[in-house]
Amino acid sequence: MERKEFLKRGFGSLLGIATVAPLVGGCSKTEVDPTTTTGTTTSTGSTNGSSSSNCSVTPSETEGPFPTKSPANFVRKDIRDDRTGVAFTVNITIKNASSSCAALSGALVDIWHCDKDGYYSEYGGSGMQSVNLTTVDFLRGRQTTDANGLVSFTSIFPGWYSGRAPHIHVHIYNSSGKSLLVTQIAFPYDITNTVYTTAQSYGYTKGAQDTKNENDNVFSDGFTTELATVAGSLSGGYTLTHTIVVNA
């Protein structure tokens, strides 16, 4: 067994022994969660040891590193993970209709879209399967708008899947997490058609999309305010620019 593993598993390494408090009795717990009584306030600690069915050895050491606050996995600017494709930058500006379309700072913006082949990140099925610690959750991200109402993501140009025009999902929240708007961003057809019909060497091998914005069941009721500006090239990557107006 390697030394690192040996230490991790704690077979009485010198370091480990040094942290173990002296045992008072053979079966005493070496550390108990405190039951604090101050004035009239009682804070009850662990109930471990209260019965024969609730009786397990209390860990004698600090449980790993002291935990630190950790943001959700998808709080990130670069949402690619292991996905490849044509380089794509998403710039979304959030404005507030309640203040004459001034920029809305401090809003949380979630985006998610499919990969070049039209697949979304796995949703974990029924919730019964276990997943590995290193599991990736691709093409989903969250950023907070800056003073200009802008969020920016680094991604790959989305592909398409049957029955839908290409799109990006967007969910905008205020700073406390209250939902302000759920919407989708549509793409100009000339750009997506160029990518889907000429970017085979980047892995876009499905050919032209089967659904245009006009025929899409989400966008067909009018998509002028949902249509993004997209500019760029296959080699240089594309940049999407879009403004979304919410009531905050």
Partner 1 sequence: MLANRDPCTLNVFEKYMAKGIIRLCYRKIIDAASQKLWDKYVFDDTYQEFFMQAQYYNQQGKYSTFQELLDNVPNADRLHHLISSAAIGYIRQLNQLIPDIANQTGKLCLPFSQFNFEIIQSHVQKKPDHRVAISFYSDELTWIDTINTMLLIAYGQQQEALREGKAIATDLISLQPYLSISSYQPIVSHPVL
Q: How far is the CB of 138 from partner 1 (least distance, A)?
A: 12
Smaller CB separation from partner 1, 70 or 100: 70
Nearest approach, Cβ of residue 129 and partner 1 (Å): 7
Number of residues assigned to the chain: 248
Cβ proximity to partner 1: between 230 and 244 the closer is 244
Smallest CA-to-CA distance from 174 within 108, 105, 98 is with: 108
- Shortest reach from residue 143's CB to partner 1, in Å: 14
Helix or strand or coil: residue 51? Answer: strand
Cβ distance 159 to 118 under 8 Å?
Answer: yes
Are 247 and 96 spatial neighbours (Cβ–Cβ below 8 Å)? yes
φ, ψ for residue 38 (rounded to 5)?
-130, 115
**Residue 126 or 162 having the CB closest to partner 1:** 126
Provide, rounded to whole angstroms, the least separation between the CB of residue 164 and partner 1: 15
Closest CA to 186 of 162, 220, 233, 210: 220
CB of 236 to partner 1, least distance (A): 32
User: What is the contact surface with partner 1 in residues (CB under 8 A)?
Assistant: 1, 5-6, 8-12, 16, 20, 29-31, 33, 45-46, 53-61, 63-74, 108, 122-124, 126-134, 137, 171, 173, 177-179, 182
- Closer to partner 1 by Cβ: residue 6 or 233: 6
Residue (109 or 240) nearer to partner 1, CB:
109
Q: Please, what's the b/e burial string for 33-57 (b: 16 or more CB within 10 A of its CB; e: otherwise)?
A: eeeeeeeeeeeeeeeeeeeeeeeee
Q: Give the DSSP letter of residue 78.
A: B
